[in-house]
Amino acid sequence: MKAARAVAAGLTVAAAAWMLGLAWFVYTANRHADPPARADGIVALTGGVARAAAALHLLEEGRADRLLLTGIGGGADLARIARLAGVDPAAIAGRVTLGRAARDTRGNAEETAAWARAYGIHSLIVVTAGYHMPRAMTELGRALPEVRLYPVSVVPPAMQGPGGVRNAETLRLMAEEYTKWLAARLGLSGQPAG
């Protein structure tokens, strides 16, 4: 009986800690940091048009000389991505790398690390959705411990407007991403991508 109570108490404490952590995660996912005036490079972990567009605009503003769009699908090309972002593709051609090897966040980090080393990148603006930023920074920090990372969060359309993070689908997404981030922090985010 004592063992059962101890297990129940432990599960209650763990659940409460997870819920408090989730509340912190939701709060931090909606914070915005301004990009630095200048960095060696920019990386956008794709997963939505807004991420690529934000990164392309930072490149266009002169925040860095090079940009990696990691996680790009096989059919996408720079001209189309740039046009969707309202950026002249000719003005940025030769400065943007489309990374097609990554299949997950760890793969994004590995692809970014190889690109950063190839171009001598020592400071990097990281663009992704706010809810994805903690996990992206964890994986990138592990893959690139020698590189200074500057997070620039994009607020996805689902989190904008009156519903924000209060709707059930967005809360479910946040809970899933929080759990994935915890796994990444513990080094349980899977085997290195091939």
* Domains recognised in the chain with CATH numbers: 27-185 (3.40.50.620)
pLDDT of residue 25: 79
β-sheet bridge partners, residue 97 = 68
pLDDT of residue 194: 36
pLDDT of residue 81: 92
C-alpha–C-alpha distance, residues 109 and 123, integer Å: 14
Q: Convert the pLDDT of each residue in 135-157 to its tens digit.
A: 999 999 999 999 999 999 997 66
| Average confidence (pLDDT) over 6-14 | 84
DSSP H helical ranges for the chain: 2-29, 49-60, 78-85, 89-92, 105-118, 133-143, 168-185
- At residue 35, φ and ψ (nearest 5 deg) are -70, 155
Q: Is 86 exposed, middle or buried (0-12, 13-18, 19+ CB in 10 A)?
A: exposed
Q: Convert the pLDDT of each residue in 74-131 to its tens digit.
A: 788 999 999 999 999 999 989 999 999 999 999 999 999 999 999 999 999 999 998 8
What are the structure tokens assigned to 53, written together?
A: 């567009």
pLDDT of residue 165: 59
User: 3-state DSSP call for residue 26?
Assistant: helix
pLDDT of residue 168: 77
> Which residues fall within 8 angstroms of residue 173, CB to CB, at 6 or more apart?
131, 158
pLDDT of residue 190: 64
pLDDT of residue 173: 83
First to last CA, the chain: 49
* pLDDT band (50, 70, 90) for residue 3: confident
| Average confidence (pLDDT) over 39-59 | 93
Q: Convert the pLDDT of each residue in 152-185 to its tens digit.
A: 999 766 566 555 556 777 778 888 888 888 888 8
- Who wins on pLDDT, 130 or 45? 45
* pLDDT band (50, 70, 90) for residue 28: confident
In terms of residues, how long is the chain? Answer: 194
